[in-house]
Amino acid sequence: MNSLSASTQDLLRERYGSLDALPPLRPTPVLDTLLAHRSVRAFSDQPVDDETVHTLVAAGQSASTSSNLQVWSVVAIRDPERKARLSQLAKGQAHVANCPVLLLWLADLSRLETLGAQQNMPVEGTDFLEFFLMGSVDAALAAQNAAIAAESLGLGLTFIGGMRDHPAEVAAELGLPPKVFAVFGMTVGYPDPAKPASIKPRLPLQTVLHHEQYDASQLREHVDQYNETMETFYKKEGMTPRGNWERHSLKRASGPEALTGRDVLKSVLRKLGFPLR
């Protein structure tokens, strides 16, 4: 830990609440950018130009992709009325409507379907769950690359899972063909300096890192520690959550009613052209 700069150690304290139980880490040129990630929901009026969007997508295309199939796409949205409609489909999140550009990251099996028809070759494999999962993973990998590129350019962003609340309506808004699904959105813009965002702490590293075999023997200890860390964070941010992190998370997984409409996602996906065999 002593080899890390003071600024990196400050970021680690924000990310983990403390350095006391953190294992040794190795500094890298991009570590500070990664550690400094925060969800930005308030943006300045500065526009995000096409050159910047192209840069983010090029970064996304440089991510790993299964078998180089590249079964993902992205739609960039600036139109205020379309952003407003998509905001309403995502529980009225204001930053979806107010961000300079909204990126919708798609699992896209339609491209292979089109090429198969042109070449008179079967593409029955795209009917299977494996291909849907592949497209979703590829979209996530590409989006994370784009996120890192965005933050390196001084941009802020937030991922929007609420695009899955009403996937059929989102598909209609974007004019998606069958076998294309909006996995999530990403609001992108330059952060409003008057409304700075904070780094949210994460679970202790030892909670998610296992060696050789899965080991949850210290889960209770680590979660208790994290509950305390988040309690400190909530107080600092003036937040009043209903219960600690643990109870909040368990409530989010309590049953189908907690999924805010996503409990019927499989049936909607089939209507969007994914047999999920």
> Strand pairing partners for 184?
105
Provide the domain count of the chain.
2
206 and 73 in a common domain:
no
The C-alpha atoms of residue 260 and residue 19 are separated, in whole angstroms, by 37
Range of the structural domain that residue 32 is part of: 6-36+198-240
> Residue 188: which of 83, 60, 99 has the closest Cα?
99
212 and 143 in a common domain:
no
134: CATH: 3.40.109.10
In a domain? residue 254: no
What share of the chain has pLDDT > 70, as a percent? 99
265 and 139 in a common domain:
yes
160 and 114 in a common domain:
yes
* 234 within 8 A of 241, measured Cβ to Cβ: yes
Tens digits of per-residue pLDDT, 76-102? Answer: 999 999 999 999 999 999 999 999 999
Tens digits of per-residue pLDDT, 174-219? Answer: 999 999 999 999 999 999 999 999 999 999 999 999 999 999 999 9
**Residues of the chain under the 70 pLDDT cut:** 1-2
Q: Specify the pLDDT at position 2.
A: 53
98 and 208 in a common domain:
no
Q: Specify the pLDDT at position 242.
A: 83
100 and 128 in a common domain:
yes
Element (H, E) at 99: none
- Give the rounded distance of the alpha carbon of 73 from its chain centre: 15
Place of tokens 């739609």: 75
Q: Specify the pLDDT at position 99.
A: 98
> Residue 16: which of 230, 249, 215 has the closest Cα?
230
